Amino acid sequence: MFSRTLTAALFALPCLAADDAWIRVNQIGYLPDDPKIAILSSDQPLTGEFRVGDFHADIGPDAGSWGPFKHNYRLDFSSVRKPGKYVVECEHATSPRFAIGPDAYKDVPGKLLEFMRLQRCGQNPVTGKACHQQDAIDTVTGERVDLRGGWHDAGDRLKHMITTSYCVAALFLGDAKDEARWGADLVARLHPSADTIYVQIGDDRDHLPPETLWHDDQSDYGWGPGGPRSGWLATGEPQGPEYQNKSTGVANLAGRCAAALTLAGDLDKAVSLYKLAQSKPGCAMSVPVRAPYYYGESTYLDDLEWAATELYIATKDETYLKQAISYAEQAGESKWMGELRHGHYEFFPYVNLAHWRLYPHADKDTQAKLAGFYRAGLERVRKLAEQNPYRLGTPLVWCSTNDVVALATQARLYEQMTGDTQFRTLGTEARDWIFGRNPWGVSFVIGVPEDGDAASKPHHLFYKLINHLPVGGLVDGPVYKDINDSLKFAPFGEDRLARFQSDVAVYHDVFADFSTNEPIIDGTVSLLLLLHIWEM
């Protein structure tokens, strides 16, 4: 009787005989010290060697079935460090071309910022035209308030301050100060008095016909087509005329705004926002009007910690340091890490950057706690990741790329804080997922790399109406199939990625799929920050 191992060997096919074999890599490439692991996938078992330049090795053991493929192999070429352009080859299966070198990512941040400039509201440097100059009318008082500026949140035209506040702070930390200041001007205007902060400009009435570009917006918020939009005041209580969110306070929004404005140098406004955050613990959420969907953020202690930390760094007032440490201990670990599901934006922004910012200023015992918070979350994610060949350990919920980038960021920050390299491969493989080392073989950054296979038909009005590709935007990314199946879409048309869809997850590079292919400003900025941190 044949042993199971011998039977598998006899019936395995060499790479050249596989009719449906695919090699997935990070299409941007790798820094010399990066772990470098490609994935070879097929519906048939394979044997043989793979090559990367002069390097060659056996494809190794079958890592098992996952997603659209029954057989997957992890091709480790980490020892290849010489700068240059490469492909991974296994007989007739060949990967896209990628770079290895210290400057592999040098052009990517500029592309990400190109997208952010396109998203600007008010005076747009890409179109050369003004938009939304009447923003906004307070939904509580009916008074006009100046809420011009900032960025359109995604492929539509409304503005969420939950994401805008984060983007401003993260852009400053990512050394993109010019773009950060564009958003900081609006964040300062969100807080015109001590007890006031606005959470949203516009709402889902934006999604009614007609579809137009930023500067031609004819949405009617009750003051005529193209007139002023609603400025939603964060009340600290559930809001919405028909469907209501579950808001409990304003500390998440006010705390994050305080951190952002501290980084912008507006300390008076930042201190006022911090006091507001402390006085109204809980979370402000985005406001639904026509449909029941909203950003249901549930955490705020991380934002109080962030505000106190930035205020301490700016002022050296020990009171802020003590408060930051207290909030850090209460915030603890990121609760979503190690889970398979979470609510829409429930744990935004998914990585507690305040732990990293606080770490150099804390005492040794506190530093150990902060590192422990990061480590515990990473350990839980790693346990999930080891169950599939792509080593994906984050939930495939709506805006899944946010979770993936957050994981990679936390892994990198933990290593910088502690010198412990145990999560380097986990973080690198998460980064690589974004740039094409995924079952679809697609970079989730629109048009990046220019000569690769990247998202190309995004859910964005500039693409649909004038065929202007919003290059540099990070799209939502794959979702569990049941999430996608539960939504109502316009006809997709031809699905060029049909071969790679599965019961695990789907991703459609089509305009109609707003759940997987809509670019988001927060994810784009998070990726910019990750790339900045990676080379620090």
What is the mean pLDDT of the segment spanning 491-496?
92
Residue with tokens 């019961």: 503
Under the banding of pLDDT at 50, 70 and 90, the label for residue 422 is: very high
13 — pLDDT class (breaks 50, 70, 90) = low
pLDDT single digits (tens) 248-273? 999 999 999 999 999 999 999 999 99
CA distances (Å), 98 to each of 36, 83, 89, 439, 445, in order? Answer: 11, 11, 12, 17, 15
Query: Residue 60 pLDDT > 50, yes or no?
Result: yes
Provide mean pLDDT across the span 418-443.
98
pLDDT of residue 92: 78
Phi, psi (rounded to 5 degrees) for 435:
-100, 20
pTM, rounded to two decimals: 0.96
pLDDT at 135: 97
Residue with tokens 């109609």: 512
Is residue 256 within 8 Å of 166, Cβ to Cβ?
Answer: yes
Domain at 135-315: CATH code: 1.50.10.10
Q: What is the mean pLDDT of the chain?
A: 95
Listing DSSP states for 19-60 in one string gives: TT-EEE--SSEE-TTS--EEEEEESS-EESEEEETTEEEE--
Which pair of tokens denotes residue 398?
């709506």
**What Cα–Cα distance (Å) separates residue 514 from each residue in 7, 206, 429, 461?**
46, 15, 26, 11
Confidence band for 3, pLDDT divided at 50, 70 and 90? very low
Q: How confident is the model at residue 9 (pLDDT cuts 50, 70, 90)?
A: very low
How far is Cα 432 from Cα 440, in angstroms, rounded to an integer? 13
CB 183 within 8 A of CB 237: no
Is the pLDDT confidence value at 457 over 60?
Answer: yes
Q: Return the pLDDT at 329.
A: 98
401-406 mean pLDDT: 98
Res. 241 pLDDT band, cuts 50 70 90: very high
Q: What is the pLDDT of residue 15?
A: 62
Q: What is the predicted pLDDT for the residue at 17?
A: 44
How many angstroms separate the CA atoms of 396 and 482, rounded? Answer: 11
Domain ranges, ordered by start, for the chain: 4-100, 135-315
Return the closest-CA partner of residue 336 out of 239, 288, 266, 404. Answer: 404
Residue type, position 234, single letter: A
How far apart CA 523 and CA 344 sit, in angstroms, is 14
Q: Residue written as tokens 């941007």? A: 28
Mean local confidence (pLDDT), 271-288: 98
Contacts of 48 (CB under 8 A, 6+ apart): 14, 15, 16, 58, 59, 90, 91
**Per the omega criterion (within 30 degrees of 0), is the bond before 284 cis?**
no
Query: Of how many residues is the chain composed?
Result: 536
CB-based contacts of 103, cutoff 8 Å, min separation 6: none
When pLDDT is cut at 50, 70 and 90, the band that residue 298 belongs to is very high
Q: Is 393 helix (H, G, I), strand (E, B) or coil?
A: coil
Identify the pLDDT of residue 415. 98
Tell me the C-alpha distance between 439 and 403, whole Å. Answer: 17
The more confident residue out of 535 and 36 is 36
Query: CB 425: neighbour CB atoms within 10 A?
Result: 19
Is pLDDT above 60 for 87?
A: yes
Question: Are 394 and 350 a contacting pair, CB within 8 Å?
Answer: no
Which helix (H) or strand (E) segment holds residue 230: the answer is strand 230-233
Arithmetic mean of pLDDT, 313-336: 98
- pLDDT band for position 91 (50/70/90)? confident
pLDDT tens digits, one per residue of 169-213: 999 999 999 999 999 999 999 999 999 999 999 999 998 999 999
Report the alpha-carbon distance of residue 385 to residue 398 in Å, rounded.
19
Instruction: Compute the distance between CA of residue 441 and CA of residue 438 in angstroms, rounded to an integer.
Output: 5
CATH code for 4-100?
2.60.40.10
Give the per-residue pLDDT at 536: 86
Query: What is the C-alpha separation between 190 and 392, in angstroms, rounded?
Result: 38
Q: Which of 404, 418, 339, 326 is nearest to 372 (CA)?
A: 418
**Percent of residues, the chain, with pLDDT higher than 90:** 95
Convert 327-360 into a string of H (helix), E (strand) and C (coil).
HHHHHCCCCCCCCCCCCCCCCCCCCCHHHHHHHH
DSSP state string for 399-462 = THHHHHHHHHHHHHHHHHHH---TTHHHHHHHHHHHBT-STT--BSBTT-STTS-B--S-S-HH
Has residue 4 got a pLDDT over 50?
Answer: no
Q: Mapping DSSP to helix (H, G, I), strand (E, B) and coil, where does residue 66 land?
A: strand
pLDDT at res. 229:
97
C-alpha dist (Å) from residue 49 to 4, 25, 61, 320: 22, 17, 12, 58
Banded pLDDT at 117 (limits 50, 70, 90): very high
